[in-house]
A and B are shown apart, each in its own frame.
Chain A
């Protein structure tokens, strides 16, 4: 049941990324290029995506998921260094190529060698984070 729901959700997500044009790197980089030929499409994608989610979060009050135990706990509020520095690093990579994780996956079938190379590097980076984090933690303890 959970897998079937997730399949439907993933399919909607993939279709949404495809239709919105967010798998097109020129659109994403065009949105970030505010001093150049600015392309506002991403703002509409973001706004459109938040509307159903605002409703969904309201519906979670005093309910349980259809197939699952509980809804996520209230969001944490502490602003940590990994959150900020990780997001900055992500933003740099996003700006360099114009792909974030969702569209990088969604465009596997037609992204060509460029998409494949980006995805391979992205997955390598993700795979390297747990050992990287252990290294940083041990350095911090030593100093």
Chain B
């Protein structure tokens, strides 16, 4: 669809603004995996700030979709794929110390070598995985 890139750009600017607000406001780097992971395994500090961030992150899309602005999500219906994918994302992002928001958006924008390497690694692995699924299993 031709106008999808405009929504992508607009949404991206909002995501970047979110990171800028958090950085300039609190001095923290916005990373979804770091924030939720720190709460889950108990390693996180500044828990009230993290919890408030997650309330906003989960609450806004909920309100938007309730108000009628729905986004289609068409995740696979194979439970084994969902469980395997979730475990890989959960374990991988904690070992790598970041995901798309932390290493990609916040890391690369400050020319962090670790951010570039992480992004290249997860993008590359993602491309290979999707290609392998399509060619191998027709998914």
Interface residues of A, Cβ cutoff 8 Å to B: 2-27, 29, 32-36, 39-57, 59-60, 64-72, 75-79, 82-102, 104-112, 114-115, 117-130, 132-133
Smallest CB–CB gap between B103 and chain A, Å?
7
Q: Are A84 and B52 in contact, CB atoms less than 8 angstroms apart? A: no
User: Which residues of B from 9 to 38 have beta carbons under 8 Å from A?
Assistant: 9-30, 32-33, 36-37
Given known A60-B23, A83-B117, A94-B122, contact A19–B37 (CB-CB < 8 A): no
Q: Are A42 and B73 in contact, CB atoms less than 8 angstroms apart? A: no
Interface residues of B, Cβ cutoff 8 Å to A: 4-30, 32-33, 36-37, 40-41, 43, 46, 48-62, 64-66, 69-77, 79, 81-97, 99-101, 103-115, 117-119, 121-131, 133-134
Q: Are A50 and B131 in contact, CB atoms less than 8 angstroms apart? A: no
Smallest CB–CB gap between B83 and chain A, Å?
5
Total contacts A-B at CB 8 Å = 489
A123 CA / B42 CA spacing, docked (Å)? 12
A128 CA / B27 CA spacing, docked (Å)? 28
A73 CA / B93 CA spacing, docked (Å)? 21
Q: Which of A17, A34, A115 has the most CB of B within 10 A?
A: A17
- A-B contacts, 14 of them at CB < 8 A, read A6-B22, A13-B101, A16-B13, A46-B104, A55-B20, A66-B24, A67-B25, A87-B119, A94-B89, A94-B126, A95-B125, A95-B129, A125-B89, A126-B37
Given known A57-B109, A129-B94, contact A90–B86 (CB-CB < 8 A): no
A53 CA / B16 CA spacing, docked (Å)? 6
Q: Are B92 and A92 in contact, CB atoms less than 8 angstroms apart? A: yes
A15 CA / B69 CA spacing, docked (Å)? 11
Q: Are B86 and A16 in contact, CB atoms less than 8 angstroms apart? A: no
For residue A35, which residue of chain B has the nearest CB? B131
For residue A121, which residue of chain B has the nearest CB? B86
Across the interface, which residues of B come within 8 angstroms of A121, CB to CB?
Answer: 82-87, 90
A22 CA / B104 CA spacing, docked (Å)? 14
